Structure 1
Amino acid sequence: METPGTDSSVPPPHVLIFPFPIQGHMNCMLYLSEMLVYSGFHITLLLTDHNLSLLGSSSNNNNHSHPSSLPDIPRLRVLSIPDCLPADHPRNLDGWVELLDSLKTNACPLYKSLLLDLCKMDVSADGFPAVTCVIADGILPFMIDASEQVGVPAIAFRTASASSVWIYYCIPQLIQSGEVPFRDGADWDEPINSIPGMESFLRRRDLPSPCRLAKNPEDKVLQLLATCTAHSERTRGLILNTLETLESISLEQIRAHMPTTYAIGPLHEMVRAYRSQNNVCAHDKSVSLWHQDCTCMTWLDQQPRRSVIYVSYGSIAVMTQESLIEFWIALVNSGEHFLWVVRSDLLRGEEWTNIRDSLSLEVRKGTEERGCIVSWVPQVEVLAHPAVGCFLTHSGWNSTLESIVGGVPMLCWPFAVDQQINSRLVGEVWRIGLDMKDVCDRTTIEKMVRAAMNGETASEIRKNAHELAKMVNNSVVEGGSSFENFQRLIEYIKSLCKRNVQ
């Protein structure tokens, strides 16, 4: 990977990167930031004050110190703006629409003012040149428009799977065909025919949750996602954290409408591969809004190879007390060892410790003997551990990619947004796991845990997962599709920056 030239007449590219302020989006775009730094760019990563404070550093618009939870990388600085929500607002899936509305209505003018200031400075006090390009989260189209209004070219980045992006783009067709909203009494296993390229495997129940939940065509969330996705047609380009061979059908369809689309994932593996090949000291840090309990690694060290089922529902999913109890009893009854991530905000209105105390002595004893329950873990490291035999996951895209790279089969229990289609890809298209969507009873969960960990089914999906991991790992090294797409993206950003300063 080459560094841009030293022509003094052309300022070095300086890209401002603005993720939607939830952990999965921030992590993904931090990896992109690091890769762009390795390519010689200056990067400003823009977070919200709320999240920057959670990362261990108080912040205001003029603060660009690095929080302790973020890597200290040369030419990468962190700035922040307020999200303009009360401190106690739930910034999870229950409150993400309000967060988006506040960013659009209240924070966007602040962003525009900050960007104007960053464009005026030839060189700032910390040696950063003027911003010459913006890469903003694709679900922040108003930030992309604000960037262009200031005169800075902007590229969209969608952190979800290409397949979900393609479905969101096709929401108008789903509505026109009458397939969405679902009619009363609809068969959820009925095939969907309005998504080109997916007719052979897509069912009603595999559509993203906004399609499943909408009661009328004007549903706010449904229209919001359709509008955000259609907006990417009007941006300078679209970046996706995926790879050509993994989602070739969806990428082909997307490029028919958005030709300047770059598939450059999995980004976390791109970063790891670059560090390894160029002897870059690995800092192994990501954006974590929770304290990582690394004692789980010691516990894993004590378990036999492929004997542990790792359980995590991601960073923003929430669940009911009843669902958690069903999973808990099923995990214990399966007889398998399990490492279970239970975030402090996982449950709606209930402390999980209260639930633990209400369980039977048998379940509590089984947990003590075979279980390890923690609040958060270094997930990439966990998935690379030889003791892990399966990942019971919510099927978020970051988690899905991390499991694929680790060659770990999945047991999918999708919760919301793109997770339903991701779990269908895992179970039906790639055949590297089992899809357990729309099921939450202890008997079924126990049965599927056993199937994913032992026997003929486990052997098949383990073999498929191993083969897919090799294919994905090959994509991020020189000559691989993601590596080459990233080189093209670098040259494209340089061209935008040069035009912007002329």
Structure 2
Amino acid sequence: MEMQMELQPQPHVLLLPFPAQGHIKPMLALAQLLCHSGIHVTFLNTEHNHRQLTQRQALSGRFPTLHFHSISDGLPSDHPRSVYSNYMDIITSLRSKMAPLLHQLLVSLMSKNDVDDPVAQLPPLGCVITDGIMSFAIDVAEELRIPVIALRFISAASFLCNLCIPKLIEEAQLPFGVLSHIGSLFSKVYTIGPLHALLKSHIVDNNLSSSSAAAASLRQEDRRCMMWLDSQSVGSVIFVSFGSLLKLTRVQLLEFWHSLVNSGFPFLWVIWSDVLWSDEAEHLSYVIPGELETATKERGFIVDWAPQEEVLAHEAMGGFLTHSGWNSTLEAMWAGVPMRCWPQIGDQQVNSRWVGEVWKIGIDMKDTCDRSTIEKMIKALMKGEERDVISRSVDRFAKLARTSVSESGSSYHNLEKLIEDLRNL
């Protein structure tokens, strides 16, 4: 009996994220957690994003059961692939062009007929874990009778809103218990966030978290900002990042810039090279007012991309001006950093509402984008009575997050349940 159990092949799971930075990163964290338990994982990216993940080999070396694979997204090579401005182009192409390629790949992974094919050396595919946005992948897996799990990278509150907006209007269900309602709609729900923290709790390796985050990034991190943070006072810096998708107008950019300079606080700002809408500027080489340049050199630091988890965890961090993406929200909660929220798209409005009005761990700035208002809000976030009230709530939620990923916590337990269920498929 013991010999038979030793020869029993480990499960093989395919993970398919939506082709965007904020979806690839947590999905890759889950992949590492599954591999750490001995499960074989085929991590499937579009060819475009597969090429961007330059540290694939390093991760595969660390996790021998992690296998990277790619298929075409069906878009021409010169397509900008901006999720913010080309979302429907991407979705349409994925559904029409990527779906049949996924069908072919799943069929090949279900068998081991071709011994010359490296893919065939894996155990037969037993499950697909797909991004919930990739609904076509659910259809393909179900057609082939492969068990499928949908992974959502938005808050439970936003997910329930997406599901129940018609009923919320029709039946006046507000206020609602988030997870209790979701649980009534699905046979199984695994609440396993925050994934980046869960990865740290399972694999005690100081180098893993930074290397894992960098490997999941589609942009090159500028680590000079960490040395700059080391030179700043404790709790003095405002960190500004609006994620990997959001586009700004030139006016919006300058309003934020003036407000940061006028606030008087040191600031670290992520401004990626194509953050502006293309009809306003092709790059950031336009003329910047002299006072902004001078003040930024004195107390600001601007990077194209930053190691956000490490930045938020730095002792110099005092506040986070964010777009309220769910990854950023969870990372700030975990690090215990108060948030000033400027939501724009997707689940960000709901996340921001919960951060400000329900959890009381930040302030919702809504659609405000004038320099005087932003300056006042930054000052309120960084000092004063409102800051003190928010800080108490932030500390409480940071403790809750840490408890959830500890061995006695709900996220830790639910991950073990997911792994157990994958083994029993």
Distance 1:481 1:274 in 2: 14
User: Which residue of structure 1 lines up, in the alignment, with residue 141 of structure 2?
Assistant: 147
Distance 2:416 2:207 in 1: 19
User: Which residue of structure 2 lines up, in the alignment, with residue 358 of structure 1?
Assistant: 288
The counterpart of 2:302, out of the listed 341, 357, 373, is 373
User: Which residue of structure 2 lines up, in the alignment, with residue 172 of structure 1?
Assistant: 166
8 Å CA contact 1:431–1:461 kept in 2: the answer is yes
Amino acid at match of 1:49: E
Query: For residues 442 and 24 of structure 1, do their structure 2 counterparts lie closer, same or farther at Cα, with a shift above 3 Å needed?
Result: same
Question: Are 1:259 and 2:197 an aligned pair?
Answer: no
Q: Secondary structure at the residue paired with 1:330?
A: helix
Distance 2:40 2:415 in 1: 17
The counterpart of 2:153, out of the listed 136, 152, 159, is 159
8 Å CA contact 1:13–1:132 kept in 2: the answer is yes
Q: Secondary structure at the residue paired with 1:95?
A: helix
Distance 1:422 1:50 in 2: 30
Query: For residues 28 and 281 of structure 1, do their structure 2 counterparts lie closer, same or farther at Cα, with a shift above 3 Å needed?
Result: closer
Q: Cα deviations across residues 41-81 of structure 1 (Å, max 9, x unaligned)?
A: 00000000011122249xxxxxxxx3568874220010000
Distance 2:60 2:257 in 1: 33
Query: For residues 8 and 23 of structure 1, do their structure 2 counterparts lie closer, same or farther at Cα, with a shift above 3 Å needed?
Result: same
8 Å CA contact 1:476–1:483 kept in 2: the answer is yes
The counterpart of 1:121, out of the listed 112, 126, 131, is 112
Q: What value does the CA root-mean-square deviation take over the aligned residues?
A: 2.2
The counterpart of 1:390, out of the listed 315, 319, 340, is 319
Q: Secondary structure at the residue paired with 1:17?
A: strand
Distance 1:43 1:69 in 2: 12
Q: Cα deviations across residues 268-301 of structure 1 (Å, max 9, x unaligned)?
A: 000011112x899656323111110000001000
User: Which residue of structure 2 lines up, in the alignment, with residue 298 of structure 1?
Assistant: 227
Equivalences for 1:44-63 in 2 at 5 Å? 44-56=42-54
User: Which residue of structure 2 lines up, in the alignment, with residue 408 of structure 1?
Assistant: 337
Q: Secondary structure at the residue paired with 2:24?
A: helix
Equivalences for 1:222-371 in 2 at 5 Å? 249-276=177-204, 284-286=211-213, 287-349=216-278, 350-351=281-282, 353-355=284-286, 357-359=287-289, 361-371=290-300
- Identity among equivalent positions (%) equals 45
Q: Secondary structure at the residue paired with 1:263?
A: coil
8 Å CA contact 2:210–2:310 kept in 1: the answer is no
Equivalences for 1:100-111 in 2 at 5 Å? 100-111=91-102
8 Å CA contact 2:129–2:149 kept in 1: the answer is yes
Query: For residues 377 and 71 of structure 1, do their structure 2 counterparts lie closer, same or farther at Cα, with a shift above 3 Å needed?
Result: farther
Q: Secondary structure at the residue paired with 2:5?
A: coil
Structure 1-normalised TM-score?
A: 0.79
Distance 1:295 1:275 in 2: 27
Distance 1:25 1:10 in 2: 32
Distance 2:401 2:208 in 1: 23
8 Å CA contact 1:54–1:289 kept in 2: the answer is yes
Query: For residues 318 and 479 of structure 1, do their structure 2 counterparts lie closer, same or farther at Cα, with a shift above 3 Å needed?
Result: same
Distance 1:71 1:9 in 2: 23
Distance 1:351 1:311 in 2: 22
Question: Are 1:82 and 2:72 an aligned pair?
Answer: yes
Query: Which region of structure 1 is more displaced relative to structure 2, 139-148 or 69-78?
Result: 69-78
The counterpart of 1:17, out of the listed 11, 15, 18, is 15
Q: Secondary structure at the residue paired with 1:353?
A: coil
The offset of 1:458, in angstroms, is 1.1
Q: Cα deviations across residues 304-328 of structure 1 (Å, max 9, x unaligned)?
A: 0011000000011111111111100
Amino acid at match of 2:255: E
Count of aligned pairs: 416
Q: Secondary structure at the residue paired with 2:284?
A: helix
Distance 2:50 2:35 in 1: 21
Structure 1 gap ranges (5+): 58-65, 178-192, 199-248, 497-502
User: Which residue of structure 2 lines up, in the alignment, with residue 424 of structure 1?
Assistant: 353
Q: Secondary structure at the residue paired with 1:261?
A: coil
Query: For residues 282 and 169 of structure 1, do their structure 2 counterparts lie closer, same or farther at Cα, with a shift above 3 Å needed?
Result: closer
The offset of 1:118, in angstroms, is 1.0
Question: Are 1:38 and 2:58 an aligned pair?
Answer: no
8 Å CA contact 2:273–2:284 kept in 1: the answer is no
Distance 1:438 1:5 in 2: 63
Amino acid at match of 2:139: D
Structure 2 gap ranges (5+): none
The offset of 1:196, in angstroms, is 4.0
8 Å CA contact 1:56–1:69 kept in 2: the answer is no
8 Å CA contact 1:46–1:79 kept in 2: the answer is yes
Amino acid at match of 2:14: L
8 Å CA contact 1:433–1:461 kept in 2: the answer is yes
Distance 1:481 1:22 in 2: 28
Query: Which region of structure 1 is more displaced relative to structure 2, 382-391 or 92-101?
Result: 92-101
User: Which residue of structure 2 lines up, in the alignment, with residue 131 of structure 1?
Assistant: 125
Amino acid at match of 1:168: N
Query: Which region of structure 1 is more displaced relative to structure 2, 343-352 or 462-471?
Result: 343-352
Query: For residues 195 and 395 of structure 1, do their structure 2 counterparts lie closer, same or farther at Cα, with a shift above 3 Å needed?
Result: farther
Distance 2:37 2:339 in 1: 34
Structure 2-normalised TM-score?
A: 0.93
Q: Secondary structure at the residue paired with 2:129?
A: strand
Amino acid at match of 1:171: I
8 Å CA contact 1:409–1:462 kept in 2: the answer is yes
Distance 1:495 1:5 in 2: 19
